[in-house]
């Protein structure tokens, strides 16, 4: 008798970076403890950078709208799979494929805002949660419709020959991940702190009515926030896929862990998100390597719960400010 709603059997609980861990394990057997630790550290920082980018994506939308977008992980998934399409299927050169991927997912983010968030102005928090969940299911379904259930990969940006540091093998792609994360965070910070549009977006989050009164087009700002957030998700997906592959159902767990990073760093703070994301990645990687690889996904989630229970304002967030916010 088949269970009607459980879905088919799945190998393990949606591991987002299983290949990375396997590889770490293979290399690990040959090297010293110090080398192992360096290896775990690098793996952790790499995975953590991805969480950081997801967290920054959450923060951008949250900063402007006070909405947590449950479809954030789906942007990463789409970024990875569309990148596979442009590089492997369409055989475009890498830089062009990268730009097209980011553009495509940005468009998806903008469409999502126009067709689902925009018409539901003044809806309750519960409704907003359910709408973004519905969109995430829809994206997942569309991805499965196009790409099926198999994981996909495309070659790393600059060859697959690893670097050796302190006896640990480091893929060059991890350096790309770190580089892109740094670029994204710096760009976002400059955008929000220095440019007129960025400042206008922050004003919307603070007080939409007042922002409207001084002539800021709040609707446009919300649209831009979704587009930007989708763009950064696409970048994360595009750089992580050569390391950890990508399939249609990766989004949920990535979103959960990215949200964990966002909360740990204090919701809304970019630097907090990066520090927390990397921290989360390192803790997870160390636990997987030294304690139990099966529970590595649980580690990040237990941390998320602890932070939510004990200090919902996060490590770097403002306790006073978080009290008046409607979570």
Partner 1 sequence: MPAKPTKLTQLAKLCVFSNVDMKSSNRKALFGLTLFLILFPLVAMNVSAIGHYVDIMIFVGIYCLINMGLSLLMGYAGQISLGHAAFFGLGAYTSGILCTKFSMSPWLAMIAGVGLTALVAYIVGVPSLKLKGHYLAMATLGFGVIVQIFFNEEVSLTGGPSGFSDIPGLSILGFSLDNDLSYYILVWSLVLLTLIFSLNVIHSRIGRALRSLHDSQVAADAMGVETSRYKVMIFVLSAVYASIAGSLYTHYVGFLSPSSFDLFLSIKLVMMVVVGGMHNIWGALLGTWLLTFLGNEWLHVFHDFDILVYGAILLAVVMFLPDGLIHLVPRMSRVWKRG
The reply on whether position 68 binds partner 1 by CB under 8 A is yes
The reply on whether position 134 binds partner 1 by CB under 8 A is yes
Please choose, from the candidates 296, 278, 305, the residue with its C-alpha nearest in 3D space to the C-alpha of residue 13.
296
Retrieve residue 186's tokens: 């710096």
The reply on whether position 121 binds partner 1 by CB under 8 A is no
Q: Using DSSP, state whether 137 is helix, strand or coil.
A: helix
Cβ atoms 222, 64 nearer than 8 A: yes
CB of 298 to partner 1, least distance (A): 5
The reply on whether position 25 binds partner 1 by CB under 8 A is no
Choosing from 122, 126, 194, 215, the residue that interacts with partner 1 (CB under 8 A) is 126
The rounded radius of gyration (Å) of the Cα atoms in the chain is 19
Choosing from 70, 85, 86, 192, the residue that interacts with partner 1 (CB under 8 A) is 70
Only one of the segments 22-30, 64-72, 204-212, 222-230 lies at the binding site for partner 1 (rule: CB under 8 A); that segment is 64-72
CB of 166 to partner 1, least distance (A): 31
CB of 180 to partner 1, least distance (A): 26
The reply on whether position 309 binds partner 1 by CB under 8 A is yes
How does DSSP assign 251-282, residue by residue?
HHHHHHHHHHHHHHT-TT-HHHHHHHHHHHHH
**H-type alpha helices, the chain:** 18-28, 33-65, 72-84, 94-112, 125-147, 172-194, 196-206, 208-213, 218-244, 251-264, 270-290, 296-310, 319-324
**How far apart are alpha carbons 76 and 239 in whole angstroms?**
10
**How far apart are alpha carbons 62 and 68 in whole angstroms?**
6
Nearer to partner 1, 203 or 252 (CB): 252
| Cβ-Cβ contacts under 8 Å for 272 (sequence gap 6 or more) | 264, 265, 266, 314, 315, 316, 317
**Residue 70 φ/ψ, nearest 5 degrees:** -70, -10
Retrieve residue 77's tokens: 């998934």
The reply on whether position 142 binds partner 1 by CB under 8 A is yes
The reply on whether position 319 binds partner 1 by CB under 8 A is no
Interaction pattern, residues 241-260, with partner 1; x per rule: CB under 8 A: -----------xx--x--xx
Choosing from 234, 263, 264, 274, the residue that interacts with partner 1 (CB under 8 A) is 263
Buried b (16+ CB within 10 A) or exposed e, 16-42: bbeebbebbeebbeebeeebbbbbbbb
Nearer to partner 1, 51 or 70 (CB): 70
Choosing from 202, 301, 311, 315, the residue that interacts with partner 1 (CB under 8 A) is 301
The reply on whether position 11 binds partner 1 by CB under 8 A is yes
Retrieve residue 260's tokens: 């964990």
Choosing from 26, 302, 319, 321, the residue that interacts with partner 1 (CB under 8 A) is 302
Only one of the segments 89-97, 238-246, 275-283, 288-296 lies at the binding site for partner 1 (rule: CB under 8 A); that segment is 288-296
Nearer to partner 1, 168 or 264 (CB): 264
The reply on whether position 308 binds partner 1 by CB under 8 A is yes
Give how many residues touch partner 1 by CB under 8 A. Answer: 59
- Residue 169 forms beta bridges with which residues? 164
The reply on whether position 290 binds partner 1 by CB under 8 A is no
The reply on whether position 219 binds partner 1 by CB under 8 A is no
Residues of this chain that interact with partner 1 (CB under 8 A) are: 1, 3-14, 67-68, 70, 116, 119-120, 123, 125-127, 129-131, 133-142, 144-145, 149, 252-253, 256, 259-260, 263, 292, 294-295, 297-298, 301-302, 304-305, 308-309, 312, 326-327
């Amino acid at each position: 008798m088949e269970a009607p709603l459980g879905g088919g059997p799945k190998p393990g609980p949606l591991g987002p970076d299983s290949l990375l861990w396997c590889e770490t394990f293979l290399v690990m057997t040959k090297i010293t403890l110090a080398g192992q630790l360096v290896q775990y550290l690098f793996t952790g920082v790499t995975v953590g950078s991805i969480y950081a980018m997801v967290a920054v994506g959450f923060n951008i939308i949250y900063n402007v709208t006070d909405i947590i977008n449950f479809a954030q992980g789906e942007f990463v998934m789409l970024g990875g799979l569309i990148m596979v399409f442009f590089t492997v299927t369409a055989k475009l050169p890498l830089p062009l494929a990268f730009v097209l991927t980011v553009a495509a997912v940005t468009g998806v983010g903008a469409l999502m805002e126009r067709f689902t968030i925009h018409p539901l102005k003044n809806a309750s928090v519960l409704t907003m949660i359910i709408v973004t969940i519905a969109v995430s299911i829809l994206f997942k379904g569309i991805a499965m419709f196009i790409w099926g259930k198999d994981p996909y990969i495309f070659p790393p940006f600059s060859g697959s020959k690893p670097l050796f540091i302190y006896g640990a093998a480091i893929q060059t792609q991890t350096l790309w991940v770190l580089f892109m994360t740094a670029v994204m965070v710096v760009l976002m910070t400059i955008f929000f702190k220095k440019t007129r549009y960025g400042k206008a977006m922050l004003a919307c989050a603070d007080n939409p009515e007042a922002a409207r009164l001084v002539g800021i087009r709040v609707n446009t700002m919300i649209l831009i926030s979704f587009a930007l957030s989708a763009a950064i998700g696409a970048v994360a997906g595009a750089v992580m896929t050569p390391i950890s592959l990508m399939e249609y159902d990766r989004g949920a767990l990535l979103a959960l862990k990215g949200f964990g990073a966002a909360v740990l760093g204090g919701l809304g703070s970019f630097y907090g998100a990066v520090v927390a994301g990397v921290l989360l990645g390192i803790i997870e990687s160390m636990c997987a390597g030294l304690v139990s690889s099966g529970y590595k996904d649980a580690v990040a989630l237990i941390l998320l719960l602890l932070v939510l229970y004990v200090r919902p304002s996060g490590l770097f967030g403002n306790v006073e400010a978080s009290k008046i916010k409607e979570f």
